[in-house]
Amino acid sequence: MHGSIETMKVRRWSDAVIGVVLFVSAWLAPPGAFAAEPPPAPIHLTPGAPQASSALVAELAEKDRQLFDAVFGCKLDDLSALIADDFEFVHDKYGLTADSGAKFMDGMRQNCKAQEAGTNFRARRELVEGSMAVYVLNEYGAMQMGEHRFFALQPGRPDRLTETGKFIDLWRRIDGEWKLARVISYDHHLAE
């Protein structure tokens, strides 16, 4: 009989300790710790932008031609008309070279003056045939990517290949016109 009273006391004590532990755990637990898990969220997927139409590819190919004709021909008014005010240019050799259209145009004016003074050589750019790709960017414009070659032009000499590189141009429609907003010029390799 003595053993069973002891057993009962241990059980009561054990039950009391468990009750206190549960009470304290519940009191210290963060809000919602014992709440039911929320139902899984529905999965809503958005399809990518449509494929670029042949008309868009042709339109941006023409903008690319105009851009480099203006850059290497020092046609600064034509170039300025193609550049967005918030233009940015990042180059693998030089980093961020322009963080506004105005700064880019200032750099181009200096380059053209250096060419006129004979302290910088004239050059031309050639798009690698078949390398250009255009992708629609919904709610923004389009991305144009490709590869190109650059040549030094010196009077009385054949054009000399100086380097190759790749580009990513982001074009945005502003007031109905395509404006170049971002350029990443990368993977440049000097000609051997």
Question: pLDDT tens digits for 18-70?
Answer: 665 556 566 566 666 666 788 999 999 999 999 999 999 999 999 999 999 99
The tokens describing 115, both together, are 């060419």
Domain presence at residue 22: no
pTM: 0.77
Torsion angle (degrees, nearest 10) of CA 126, 130, 132, 135? 170
Domain hosting residue 68, numbered range:
54-190
Comparing 13 with 59, the larger pLDDT belongs to 59
Total structural domains in the chain?
1
Domain presence at residue 44: no
Place of tokens 């414009």: 141
Domain presence at residue 95: yes
Q: Is residue 104 scored above 80 in pLDDT?
A: yes
SS3 152: strand
Q: Is residue 3 scored above 90 in pLDDT?
A: no
The tokens describing 80, both together, are 């300025």
Question: pLDDT tens digits for 125-144?
Answer: 999 999 999 999 999 999 99
Give the phi and the psi of residue 163 in degrees, each rounded to 5. -165, 165
Domain presence at residue 8: no
| Rg of the chain (C-alpha set) | 33
Neighbours of 144 (CB within 10 A): 25
pLDDT the model gives residue 73: 96
Domain presence at residue 112: yes
Domain presence at residue 72: yes
Domain presence at residue 128: yes
- Domain with 79 in it: what CATH number? 3.10.450.50
Domain presence at residue 34: no
